[in-house]
Structure 1
Amino acid sequence: MIEEIDNSYLCAKEICKEYTIGKTSIRVLDGVNLDIKKGEILIILGASGAGKSSLLHILGILDTPTSGHVSFKGENLSIMGQKKLAEKRNRIFGFVFQFYHLLPDFNALENVLMPRLIGRRFFKSTSKKYHTEKAIQLLERVGLKDRINHRPNELSGGEKQRVAIVRSLMNDPEILLCDEPTGNLDTKSGSEIQKLIWDLNENTKQTVVIVTHDERFAELASHVVRMADGKIINYSRN
């Protein structure tokens, strides 16, 4: 099966996911196939319970499928051991979630630097000064020059999400995975975050996958996937 997807970038092949609650088995993903191209913005749309977040977690190897596999550049990620998976996850993916997951006792700069601390064994050739300067430059780039030393409770929702996006970029991920990145924001802040993600894609060719129920995203994306009941029901490319 690997031979079939060697030319793919990020690929999901016949993904099924089941959870067992007591004696009941619930299938949340049912034979999903998805091929994501390098440099594109892919939107996964669907109502709550459609399986969007479950698929995103499997694509980002935060979770494993019951059957099927995920590959990156032709390499099957679903058969790797946990140590190897953690290394791949840290190098390939950046994650942005709806509720930011910022550490309340640390300021914006310290939160952004967390991936470097967690993955420090991968960055022995670069100094703390290098990463601090990089974090400051990224925060300035997203308009947070004057908020670097502020803690999360001193930031607006849009500012918190900007910090979360910058944090996700610290390890130079090849793919940015976003789970309802504007779902906790007002319309104005949501539009600003959407523009920021699109600017990143345009300027850096960052591959982006966004799970959302917001139809506004579909008008701007290069590839839109619609899900219902654990299945992909429609593909479209703009």
Structure 2
Amino acid sequence: MSFNTFVLDSATNEFDAPTIIKAQGIVKNFHQAGEEVKVLQSIDFSLAKQESVAITGASGAGKSTLLHILATLMEPSSGKIQIGSVEVDYHNKAELERLRRKNLGIVFQFHYLLEDFSVLENVLLPLRIKSFYGSPLVLKSARARAKELLVYLGLGHRLNFYPKDLSGGEKQRVAMARALIHEPDILFADEPTGNLDEENGEKLQQLLFRLQKDLGLSLAVVTHDINFALECDRSLSMKAGRWESF
């Protein structure tokens, strides 16, 4: 399978190395009611090209915090992260935006679709926010890719529907298409099946693995579902902000 593609920028591809993410000594502390809460304690993490890694553990273990840091949505208190050949500089907003725009996609437990936008408009929203449309030709190409993604995800008949008209599973699939519209190298998924029933959760899980294979993605997923975790290439367990086992 191949999708129509369009060039996001002309920078050289820094994602040719086998290891696509490397995190070292990640610490994250929060301050609540005058006290310091240690959420992550000296975490190391790596993700290889086209590898799938599950992060498991009890609620409050620090899983989602780590995923958000890896996805550059949150700055660690200390430690460093390298994505491709680039060491993440959280003070360089332009470089952060470039990484997110070019290389990173994220799916949350909640779909966060805009109710006043159609399915197709929601999928195109990241490009719209980033002022990507530079010409009618680029817009046409982007719309074609969005439609192809939605057809691939079984939503070709829902292009002009609105979120209120969709099931929970359909909303999550729209969120997946939105995360993939800019052709990222890495997909982060934070409890993507958490709000779905068992049947729809299983369908979404298998769809994620099919997407990973067909698009050559690296996948990092936070999940409580042990069966989901066991289907990944590796599964890591977190407890109280530390790795419990490798």
Residues 34-63 of structure 1: per-residue CA shift (max 9 Å, x gap):
111010111000110000000000000000
Does structure 2 retain, via aligned residues, the 8 Å contact 1:91–1:171?
yes
The equivalent of 1:124 in structure 2 is 134
Q: How many pairs does the alignment contain?
A: 229
The equivalent of 2:47 in structure 1 is 36
Q: TM-score, normalised by structure 1?
A: 0.92
Distance (Å, rounded) in 2 between the aligned partners of 1:11 and 1:151: 39
Does structure 2 retain, via aligned residues, the 8 Å contact 1:12–1:35?
yes
Matched residue type, 2:194:
G
Does structure 2 retain, via aligned residues, the 8 Å contact 1:8–1:74?
no
Distance (Å, rounded) in 1 between the aligned partners of 2:101 and 2:201: 27
Q: What is the root-mean-square deviation in Å for CA atoms of aligned residues?
A: 1.4
1:231 aligns with 2:209: no
Does structure 2 retain, via aligned residues, the 8 Å contact 1:175–1:208?
yes
Does structure 1 retain, via aligned residues, the 8 Å contact 2:75–2:90?
no
The equivalent of 2:188 in structure 1 is 177
The equivalent of 1:67 in structure 2 is 78
The equivalent of 1:3 in structure 2 is none
The equivalent of 1:11 in structure 2 is 22
1:162 aligns with 2:162: no
Does structure 2 retain, via aligned residues, the 8 Å contact 1:64–1:78?
no
Does structure 1 retain, via aligned residues, the 8 Å contact 2:90–2:96?
no
Alignment of 1:1-238 (within 5 A): 8-121=19-132, 124=134, 127-235=138-246
- How many angstroms does 1:79 deviate by? 4.8
Distance (Å, rounded) in 1 between the aligned partners of 2:229 and 2:205: 11
Q: Equivalent pairs: percent with the same residue?
A: 38
Unaligned runs of 5+ in 2: 1-16
The equivalent of 2:4 in structure 1 is none
Q: TM-score, normalised by structure 2?
A: 0.89
Distance (Å, rounded) in 2 between the aligned partners of 1:228 and 1:140: 40
- Are residues 78 and 225 of structure 1, via their aligned partners in 2, closer, same or farther at CA, if it must alter by over 3 Å? farther
Unaligned runs of 5+ in 1: 1-5
Q: Which runs of 4+ in 1 moved over 6 A?
A: none
The equivalent of 2:3 in structure 1 is none
- How many angstroms does 1:22 deviate by? 2.9
Distance (Å, rounded) in 2 between the aligned partners of 1:160 and 1:210: 18
